[in-house]
Amino acid sequence: MRSGGRVKHCTYLWLVALGILLEIGACRGSPVAERESSLSLIHGKARKQQSNQAYTTLLYGDEFLLGVRVLGKSIKVTGTDKDMVVLVSKGVSSEAMELLEADGWIVEHIDLLENPNSKKKRPSRFWGVYTKLKIFNMTNYEKVVYLDADTIVTRSIEDLFLCKRFCANLKHSERLNSGVMVVEPSRDLFEDMLAKVTTLKSYTGGDQGFLNSYFEDFANARLFDPLMSPDERKEYNPEFERLSTLYNADVGLYMLANKWMVDDESELRVVHYTLGPLKPWDWWCHWLLKPVDLWQNVRVTLVESLPGTRAGETAHSRLVVRVLFLIPLIVLAFCNRRLLCQIHQDVCGLLCTGSFCGYARQLWYKYTAGSALPIYSKITGSPSNTSVNQYTGGTGGISGSSRLPTYLGSLSVVVCFICALGSMVIAVLLVPRQVMPWTGMILAYEWTFFLFIVLFGKYLDVLYGLGRSSAVAVSSVPSSPDASGYNSGKGHSRSAVLWDAQTVFYGLGMAFFAMSVPAVPFILGVSALFARLGLMITMGLVLSAFMTYAAEHLAIKWYLRGRDEWNQSRPQSGYCGIC
């Protein structure tokens, strides 16, 4: 580094560029903050009841907080003046309640209603779900529209308040679904329900099964008609009415049919993300389920009702994302600092010198002369590569004076797949679940590649070492002339033994196929679940084929290179050995 000042100056430029990148990453998809004037709420004044009709939902824990925020926003967008009440149980943090109040919810505390079936062998996830019956006890309201936290409203549903006594939607097998309900709260009704909770059967072990037993005859209910004339409605007093699919459109059914099972999709009012553990706030669901678009579109419009909560983020999640984003970059940069130093000097030279053309020409000569940078200068045609090509024809075969370990090829394939799978699993577990879909995707890929490079790189490094020791044992292989391409004299000069043109090519190939697995269905515009899965499996097979090929070749290549270079007296500096 001859021109120290210039390089220092450039280091600063790099940092600024990285900072800008991070900011872009953090701001992606979120609109300019429009802070709401909800300061009075932050300072402890709880919202008061303002109407005698309300939208309501339940929150058992912070995991569903984002769901409730998005639901609330989607209700507000329809321009309602009704109250929005969230019933929270003990598991909800005070920060979450503060945030919901700032968003415009009225927060009411409730105790969990015990599940009478929980002593029998019922699914544990229904613990506490009888609590939902408490909406029948909200007697300070005349009528309540209940929505699950995993629903969103896509059009105004004010007409639901016309519903007389109890409305819900029928789903599969003539069962009512308790995800969207219109309830006329009544102390008598509630107490009657409580009295029967222990005696009536519940096919789900939870509230939905109980309600199906309690409203035994619900399957015969007439369809709720919001267009019925007021006079007619006055005369009309059914025990319950049945809501059309428009008010509780099931994403599970959408995924099977690849369309909403309604006449006019623009008439949809409530979308219900029913698919078990696939909740719309988990980043990967956006890449599986097309209807999650609707949910994410509302999510990005969430305002910053409390500092740092724009678009459903939190200060904590933003920090985690940044740290996760930076760790692999820093580690890889550290392990390849000499290479980066070189690139840094070259790029800075390009940016900072006045005579751009002259510098470019200089660089060109430097690289074509092949003296500066191992990664660029070690290319094909060297003796070691030639010998690789000879060997790869017959794996494990004998050529010349040496023999490859018998299981080298197949073992390497297995190791490669284990590394890839392990990296992917760890990466997906590391990424916070509720980040934006793109953030999650980028982080998951970054960590998968990072872990894979470290793990499989280490394996190749071990093979390189084995190759060397085999050569030491045989003592019959001449030194490879291409190794003189490195800067000689400095013992530490090879900090990244595994970077060369061929390895980079295989690495990029694997990265390309890995990224095309989810990308191809999107590029082709395939949204049907089974077609999409089929395409992804096909691309996965292509990826596996390429990985098999690459793993075998790389293993043999690095084993042989280790053997060929054994007498170059260099410290054993593995890929990340210096870290």
Ligand X SMILES: *[C@@H]1O[C@H](CO)[C@@H](O)[C@H](O)[C@H]1NC(C)=O
Stretch that binds ligand X, among 134-142, 158-166, 272-280, 302-310 (CB under 6 A): 134-142
Which residue lies nearer to ligand X by CB, 53 or 395?
A: 53
Q: What is the 3-state secondary structure (H, E, C) of 215-277?
A: CCCHHHCEECCCCCCHHHHHHCCCCCEEECHHHCEEHHHHHHHCCCCCCCHHHCCEEECCCCC
Question: Residue 110 or residue 162: which is nearer to ligand X going by CB?
Answer: 110
Nearer to ligand X, 133 or 408 (CB): 133
CB 274 within 8 A of CB 292: no
Smaller CB separation from ligand X, 140 or 380: 140
Tokens of 204: 């789900």
Interaxial angle between packed helices 187-196 and 207-214, expressed in degrees from 0 to 180 and rounded to the nearest 10: 110
Q: Work out how close the CB of 512 gets to ligand X at its nearest, in angstroms, rounded to a whole number.
A: 59
What is the smallest separation between the CB atom of 330 and ligand X, expressed in angstroms? 53
Span interacting with ligand X, options 91-99, 115-123, 133-141, 492-500, rule CB under 6 A: 133-141
Judged by CB, which is closer to ligand X: 137, or 248? 137
Q: Does 269 bind ligand X (CB under 6 A)?
A: no
Return the number of the residue (139 or 502) whose C-beta is nearest ligand X: 139
Binding mask of the shown chain, residues 400 to 419, with x at each position contacting ligand X by CB under 6 A: --------------------
Binders of ligand X among residues 136 to 155 (CB under 6 A) are 137, 139
Q: Between residues 141 and 273, which has the closer beta carbon with respect to ligand X?
A: 141
| Shortest distance (Å) from residue 87 CB to ligand X | 10
**Least distance CB 147 / ligand X (angstroms):** 20
Q: Which residues of 80-116 are buried (b: 16+ CB within 10 A; e: fewer)?
A: bebbbbbbbbeebeeebbbbbbbbbbbbbebeebebb
Nearer to ligand X, 138 or 249 (CB): 138
* Least separation in angstroms between CB 139 and ligand X: 5
Contact 520, 535 (CB under 8 A): yes
Nearer to ligand X (CB atom), residue 187 or residue 222: 187
C-beta of 137: minimal distance to ligand X in Å? 4
Quote the crossing angle between the two packed helices 94-103 and 65-77, to the nearest 10°. Answer: 10
Out of 82, 132, 134, 378, name the contact with ligand X by CB under 6 A.
134
Structure tokens at 525: 């515009």
| Percent helix, strand and coil across the chain, each to the nearest 5 | 55, 10, 35
User: Pairing mode, if any, of strands 166-171 and 175-183?
Assistant: antiparallel
Shortest Å, Cβ 41 to ligand X: 24
Choice between 140 and 390, CB closer to ligand X: 140
- Total residues contacting ligand X (rule CB under 6 A)? 3
Kindly state the smallest distance separating residue 544's Cβ from ligand X, in Å. Answer: 56
Q: Site residues for ligand X, window 511-540 (CB under 6 A)? A: none
Which residue's beta carbon is nearest to the bound ligand X?
Answer: 137
CB of 542 to ligand X, least distance (A): 58
Asked if 190 contacts 136 with a C-beta cutoff of 8 angstroms, the reply is yes
Dihedrals phi, psi of 398, to nearest 5 degrees: -110, 135
The 3-state secondary structure of 397-460 reads CEECCEECCCCHHHHHHHHHHHHHHHHHHHHHHHCCCCCCHHHHHHHHHHHHHHHHHHHHHHHH
Residue whose CB is less far from ligand X, 137 or 317: 137
For residue 330, give every residue at least 6 positions away whose Cβ sits within 8 Å of its Cβ, in sequence order, or none: none
Q: What's the min distance (Å) between Cβ of 100 and ligand X?
A: 20
Q: Which token pair is 151?
A: 């629903």
Binding mask 351-380 for ligand X (x = CB under 6 A): ------------------------------
**Which position has the token pair 């760790």?**
327
Q: Which of these segments, 132-140, 282-290, 431-439, 459-467, binds ligand X (CB under 6 A)? A: 132-140
Q: Name the helix (H) or strand (E) containing 511.
A: helix 501-523
Least distance (Å) between residue 134 CB and ligand X = 6
Separation CA 43–CA 409 (nearest Å): 67
Q: What residues have CB less than 8 Å from 450, skipping those under 6 apart?
A: 328, 331, 332, 423
Using CB under 6 A as the criterion, which residues of the chain lie in contact with ligand X when the complex forms? 134, 137, 139
